[in-house]
Chains A and B, each alone.
Chain A
Amino acid sequence: MNQVTQKSTPDLQGLPNITFRQLEVFRVVCHEGSYANAALELRNTRANIKRVCEDFEKAVGRSLFTDGPNRILLPTPFAQGLLGQVSPLSRGLRRLGESVRALHAKGRILRFAAAGEFFKGGLFTDFLARLQITDSFRPCFLRIETKRFRPALLNAECDVYFGIGIVASDRLDLVNLASVPWKIECGPAYRGKIPTKPAELPQGKWWIADTGESEATSNLLDAFHSAGAKAGRIFSSESIEQPLDDEIVFSPEMTVRHSSGSANTWPCLWFSAVLRKHHPYSELMPRLTGSALS
């Protein structure tokens, strides 16, 4: 006894989750009649090919192959019908692939961004001179202030943001490129006996300038304290309390070129590159890491 089924809408939204690779593998397996031969043709392993076919079967919701004589894989009637439908889609996908390759060959636009002060030179330009990118990218530069670099990266307004004292976060990858040298200013009283390590800092008479994200600066203050310094403070241009003339002030020196040889005894801020996690340009992360100074 057969029944009439009622559906509220045709199931148009539940499209099968098919991939380009599944279609290509399906076509070759149908043609070759064996997973092993298809693996040879596609320069892959039999297990991988079989897995892709199984995924495709799951996506279309029906079995595609049956075992024939002499261990030949026979397409089911459903698979035979499907094979007739695959060609226009494969053709379109191949053309799409070619256009993507052409866009890659032409060089993709890579948008670097940094806050205004970085464009003066020093750390930023020094790093750019080291970075090898012009072979696959066309770089351009944007000026974005530190307070809005996160939305700018997440909204794909820029690809890589350069800054100092930046804290890692969930959806962004951080690459530390170089340590930032300190400019240590101290009053005339210290002439000739400038402290050389954290433990020598006079208690309560030293300050760190708040230049990056405030979380990074307070982490840095903790690092100074762990290294033996006592009772330091953070100040910014808006702070009510400001360092006195006879107190020591640490502020990052961004405009000097980095000298990799100088051993630094002070905990320091990092000059970092930040980019979206899983950025579409997969080459970007290794290039940035490769250009970082250890």
Chain B
Amino acid sequence: MDIELSGLLLFRHLAQTGSFTETGKHWKISQPAVSLMIGRLESAVGLILLERSSTGTKLTTAGTQFLEHANEVCDAYLAFTDGMRHIGRRMDREVLVGIDRSWFGLILSREFPLAKPPAGVVPVICDLGENWGESLESTQYDVVVAGRFLRAGLCAGIQEAVIRVERGITVAWNPDFYPFDPVNFSFPEILRTSVLIPDSGVVTGFASSLRLWCEHAYGMHPANSVSFSSEAEAATAACAGLGVLLAPGDSMPRLDHIGEGMTHVRTFEFLLPEAYTFGVYCRSDENSKEVLSVAATLGKLGKKLFA
């Protein structure tokens, strides 16, 4: 049984989505290539794992039983490749830095290459995916620079150097479209409108915490909720009257001219004194001097720029 491990990953994804096209898109290969690899996997194990039809792909009985063990192998394979890349990076003295899409993150990824990196180290900057805490622990990244809402993203295996902490949240709207009173502001009122929220790639845990908070404190969800891939995009939409911007911490200074003409309120400042934290993260047991020196450089640069 000489199976290709990438074929197993495709099979797992196919079992979850039921679509060859969707699987191809996810793994960035063509749909016939997915078919070919699944065919090779079936031949290697001598089992028919999937039944294809015009309405979608479903697992056969053998496929269902095979998937139970294939799941374990897929997880081990992903951990193996993470580990392998990590070893490779250590040997090349590369440090993979994941930076989020926040205002702070964008400035840092622009400024960091201009700052002098530690001698002999090759920092590689890349975009940060979701669940960066887990990705950092599984060595997908060496250093993460990101913002978190409340305690989201934190886990036992990672350590944090705080660059900036901001209180509460910012609620901003265009007064031409919404009649909210900034003096006697009532938060539940905005839940009857569309709320425009930066997504988890901008600040981890913000949208999910907000949803939980609305449900527990007010017993309701926003009438409509739209995610944006940056604070500025969400603010632009709010400015156009498409909804009310909800952003972590003190958002208005970051929005600069986009916020002009909008009315805003800072709320939950006393309830949530450490609502938004922007910091540098690395693994708790990190012992690579290269990684620690890059993390320190980023922390120092962040403090200089934002503290």
CB pair A5 B140 closer than 8 Å: no
| B residues in contact with A10, CB < 8 Å | 96, 98, 126-127, 129, 140-141
Determine if A4 is an interface residue (Cβ-Cβ < 8 Å).
Answer: yes
Q: Mark A166-195, 1 if CB is under 8 A from B, else 0.
A: 000000000000000000000000000000
CB pair A155 B126 closer than 8 Å: no
In the complex, the chain A residue whose C-beta lies closest to that of B112 is: A4
Determine if B261 is an interface residue (Cβ-Cβ < 8 Å).
Answer: no
> Which residues of B (87-141) have their CB < 8 Å from a CB of A?
87-88, 90-91, 96, 98, 109, 112-113, 117, 119-127, 129, 140-141
Determine the distance from Cα of A157 to Cα of B53 in the docked complex, in whole angstroms: 8
Determine if B83 is an interface residue (Cβ-Cβ < 8 Å).
Answer: yes
Determine the distance from Cα of A34 to Cα of B149 in the docked complex, in whole angstroms: 54
Determine if A16 is an interface residue (Cβ-Cβ < 8 Å).
Answer: yes
Determine the distance from Cα of A92 to Cα of B77 in the docked complex, in whole angstroms: 9
CB pair A19 B5 closer than 8 Å: yes
The number of A-B residue pairs with CB atoms under 8 Å apart is 168
CB pair B84 A89 closer than 8 Å: no
In the complex, the chain A residue whose C-beta lies closest to that of B61 is: A109
- Given the interface contacts A78-B91, A85-B80, A108-B62, does A281 sit within 8 Å of B6 by beta carbon? no
Closest Cβ of chain B to A62, distance in Å, is 6
| B residues in contact with A89, CB < 8 Å | 5, 73, 76-77, 79-80
Question: How many B residues have CB within 8 A of the partner chain?
Answer: 61
| Interface-lining segment among A97-105, A263-271, A286-294 | A97-105
Closest Cβ of chain B to A139, distance in Å, is 14
CB pair A95 B48 closer than 8 Å: no
Q: Mark A44-68, 1 if CB is under 8 A from B, else 0.
A: 0000000000000000111000000
CB pair B125 A16 closer than 8 Å: no
Q: Mark A1-15, 1 if CB is under 8 A from B, else 0.
A: 011111111111101
Determine the distance from Cα of A20 to Cα of B70 in the docked complex, in whole angstroms: 13
- Given the interface contacts A20-B3, A157-B53, does A6 sit within 8 Å of B125 by beta carbon? yes
> Which residues of B (261-284) have their CB < 8 Å from a CB of A?
none
Determine the distance from Cα of A201 to Cα of B70 in the docked complex, in whole angstroms: 63
Determine if A278 is an interface residue (Cβ-Cβ < 8 Å).
Answer: yes
Closest Cβ of chain A to B55, distance in Å, is 11
| B residues in contact with A12, CB < 8 Å | 129, 140
In the complex, the chain A residue whose C-beta lies closest to that of B119 is: A2
CB pair B27 A155 closer than 8 Å: no
Determine if B227 is an interface residue (Cβ-Cβ < 8 Å).
Answer: no
CB pair B113 A6 closer than 8 Å: yes
CB pair A280 B2 closer than 8 Å: no
Determine if A69 is an interface residue (Cβ-Cβ < 8 Å).
Answer: no
- Given the interface contacts A7-B125, A10-B96, A77-B91, does A155 sit within 8 Å of B5 by beta carbon? no
Determine the distance from Cα of A10 to Cα of B140 in the docked complex, in whole angstroms: 8
CB pair A2 B117 closer than 8 Å: yes
CB pair B84 A16 closer than 8 Å: yes
Closest Cβ of chain A to B126, distance in Å, is 4
Q: B48 is contacted by which of A81, A92, A159 (Cβ under 8 Å)? A: A159
- Given the interface contacts A10-B98, A157-B51, does A17 sit within 8 Å of B6 by beta carbon? yes
| B residues in contact with A21, CB < 8 Å | 2
Determine if A42 is an interface residue (Cβ-Cβ < 8 Å).
Answer: no
CB pair B46 A280 closer than 8 Å: yes
Determine if A156 is an interface residue (Cβ-Cβ < 8 Å).
Answer: yes
| B residues in contact with A279, CB < 8 Å | 43
Determine the distance from Cα of A95 to Cα of B71 in the docked complex, in whole angstroms: 11
Closest Cβ of chain B to A287, distance in Å, is 14
> Which residues of B (129-181) have their CB < 8 Å from a CB of A?
129, 140-141
CB pair A15 B9 closer than 8 Å: yes
Determine the distance from Cα of A280 to Cα of B119 in the docked complex, in whole angstroms: 55
Determine the distance from Cα of A61 to Cα of B85 in the docked complex, in whole angstroms: 10
Determine if A282 is an interface residue (Cβ-Cβ < 8 Å).
Answer: yes
Determine if A244 is an interface residue (Cβ-Cβ < 8 Å).
Answer: no
Determine if B285 is an interface residue (Cβ-Cβ < 8 Å).
Answer: no
| B residues in contact with A109, CB < 8 Å | 48, 60-62
Q: Mark A145-170, 1 if CB is under 8 A from B, else 0.
A: 00000000011110100000000000
| B residues in contact with A157, CB < 8 Å | 51, 53
- Given the interface contacts A85-B83, A155-B51, does A13 sit within 8 Å of B68 by beta carbon? no
Q: A92 is contacted by which of B45, B66, B73, B85 (Cβ under 8 Å)? A: B73
> Which residues of B (57-79) have their CB < 8 Å from a CB of A?
60-62, 65-66, 68-70, 72-73, 75-77, 79
In the complex, the chain A residue whose C-beta lies closest to that of B28 is: A13
Determine if B183 is an interface residue (Cβ-Cβ < 8 Å).
Answer: no
| B residues in contact with A108, CB < 8 Å | 46-48, 62
Determine if A18 is an interface residue (Cβ-Cβ < 8 Å).
Answer: yes
Determine if B52 is an interface residue (Cβ-Cβ < 8 Å).
Answer: yes
Closest Cβ of chain B to A58, distance in Å, is 14
CB pair A100 B4 closer than 8 Å: no
Determine if B223 is an interface residue (Cβ-Cβ < 8 Å).
Answer: no
Closest 5 interchain pairs by CB?
A81-B87, A280-B42, A4-B113, A85-B83, A155-B52
What are 21 residue pairs bridging A and B, where the CB atoms are less than 8 Å apart in the complex? A2-B117, A6-B113, A7-B126, A7-B127, A8-B127, A9-B127, A15-B6, A62-B88, A78-B88, A81-B83, A92-B69, A92-B77, A96-B73, A99-B66, A100-B47, A103-B62, A104-B46, A108-B47, A155-B51, A156-B60, A282-B43
Given contacts A20-B2, A97-B1, A154-B52, 6 further A-B contacts (CB under 8 A): A15-B5, A15-B6, A18-B80, A89-B77, A95-B73, A104-B46
